[in-house]
Amino acid sequence: MNSQADNTLSLEGYPNLSAAAKMLGVSRSTLSRREDIASEHRGERDLVMPVAEVLRLARIYRKRSINDVAQGLLEHAEAADPESRARIEAEIEAHFAKHSTSGEQAQLLELARRLLPPDALAAVEASLDQVAPPLSPEIVGLPPVGED
């Protein structure tokens, strides 16, 4: 249940389960029931969630925009521990960079240009401009309907 974290960093900028649940638009019990949640102990009883974990759950629950959740993390850090805001912002940027597909698309197009005939290349380029259909809830990890 705990993630591997740098023990020298302050955890004050991280939200506890209640604050994270509010940012995500779910109940605290929804988070506390998850067996795959990465959290850290802050003190004896308080559990806090690293930025990457809150953003991962935002992608799963999709109750709030991931940008709104990221903004909530920044506001929480600013209020709880202003000195941690820059670190929290860097963690958010790293998460977005990791989940960006623009670099992957550029690599795919470069490879397609080298290996495919012109008609197949045109089909690949056209498909990259289309919006993909939504994934099945089982694929993206959404909880069953009726569970919050």
pLDDT for position 73: 96
Domain locations in the chain as residue ranges:
17-99, 102-130
pLDDT for position 92: 94
pLDDT for position 2: 46
Find the angle CA(18)-CA(24)-CA(30) to the nearest 5 degrees.
60
pLDDT for position 43: 82
Give dist(CA 89, CA 107) in Å, integer.
Answer: 28
pLDDT for position 66: 92
One-character DSSP codes across 42-100 = ETTTEEE--HHHHHHHHHHH-SS-HHHHHHHHHHHHHHH-GGGHHHHHHHHHHHHHHT-
- pLDDT, block means (10 residues), the chain with 148 residues: 54 92 95 89 87 94 93 94 92 85 77 91 83 66 56
pLDDT for position 145: 59
Give dist(CA 72, CA 69) in Å, integer.
Answer: 5
54: its two tokens: 């809150």
Torsion of CA 102, 104, 108, 114, to 10 degrees: 100
pLDDT for position 6: 52
